[in-house]
Amino acid sequence: MSTHRAQPMRLTGQLWLDRKGRNFLGGYRIELLEQIGRTGTLTQAAKAVGLSYKAAWDAVDAMNNLAEKPLVIRAAGGRAGGRSTLTNHGQRAVELYRLLESGWRQLLKRMQAELDDLDGLNDLMRAITVRTSARNELRGTVKIVRKGAVNSDVVLDVSDGVEVFASITNEAVEELDLRPGRTAFALIKASFVMLTTDRNLHVSARNRLCGLVSQVIVGAVNSEVKIQLSCGRTLAAIITNESLKELALRKGSPCCALVKASHVLIGVND
């Protein structure tokens, strides 16, 4: 009598980003964008990913129509010629997708490890559905890690020399493998962001991020103020309507965001 050994279950899946209820980025589309960036032509890019020219053209049209800005700019030339260029927005979309994909693959690995333990899988599913309440996520590169007796000062260069300071435990530095040159991101709750219009104000907050108010959303009690920083990033703050009135903040107003280093969380993708 033969016995059949149960085959292990394997988790599979593919990351797709939807927009307006339609597939936007994922799978062959990301590969197509990458090939357009490498080859400079839609014809060669289509061949590289195994698509017909028409299918590749339709895919680019679909992505451009769903994107806030065009991902690809095409010049006339037909099947035998013409240039296709990946825009800065397109390059950024590819980078962000690959970043998300890295986290997605890590998630699949973790879930696969727990698959044989249903109780463990249930706990894992509860853990991964927890969402962060931090409104601000600033991605950058670790510039300095300065260790103390208990805590470390971490300096993150988020763009064009704009720096974010964080104070975290030495244990967290080790667990996250933080070191100069490593990609990381700073998480800051909007309620932890204080605003001032006085650039010369002396405060204990290590982070002073200045720019112009890009949007003000007034609520019943509190208001959300978005600041366009000098590096092009946006920072959101939640303040009372009374504070909004006192500071006379409106679109275009110069403003500085103040954040204590201890209120900045640091994260990595792997």
Map out the domains of the chain as residue ranges.
Answer: 11-130, 132-270
H helix runs in 40-133, sequence order = 42-49, 53-66, 88-114, 118-128
CATH fold, domain 11-130, is Arc Repressor Mutant, subunit A (1.10.10)
Mean confidence (pLDDT) of the chain: 85
Rounded CA separation 120/124 (Å): 6
Rounded CA separation 26/97 (Å): 8
256 - beta bridge partners?
196, 210
CATH 2.40.50.100 fits 132-270, yes or no: yes
Whether residue 72 contacts residue 84, with contact meaning beta carbons closer than 8 Å, is answered with yes
Q: pLDDT tens-digit profile of 140-171? A: 899 999 999 989 999 999 888 889 999 999 99
Angle at which helix 27-39 crosses helix 42-49, to 10 degrees, equals 140
Rounded CA separation 154/146 (Å): 6
Return the half-sphere exposure (C-beta side, CA atoms, 13 A cut-off) of residue 121: 11
Rounded CA separation 90/79 (Å): 22
Cα 134 to the center of its chain, rounded Å: 12
Rounded CA separation 30/65 (Å): 16
Closest CA to 145 of 3, 266, 27: 266
Q: pLDDT tens-digit profile of 209-247? A: 999 999 999 999 999 999 999 888 889 999 999 999 999
Would you give the end-to-end CA distance of the chain in angstroms? Answer: 48
Residuewise pLDDT in 10s, the chain (270 residues): 444 444 566 777 788 888 878 888 988 899 999 999 999 999 999 999 999 998 999 899 889 888 888 999 987 555 545 689 999 999 999 999 988 888 888 887 777 776 655 555 555 554 444 444 567 888 889 999 999 998 999 999 988 888 999 999 999 999 899 999 999 889 999 999 999 999 888 888 999 999 999 999 999 999 999 999 988 888 999 999 999 999 999 999 999 999 999 999 998 876
Identify the burial level of 152 via C-beta atoms within 10 angstroms of its C-beta, where 0-12 means exposed, 13-18 middle and 19 or more buried. Answer: buried
Three-state secondary structure along 220-250? CCEEEEEEEECCCCEEEEEEEHHHHHHHCCC
One-letter amino acid at 24 equals F
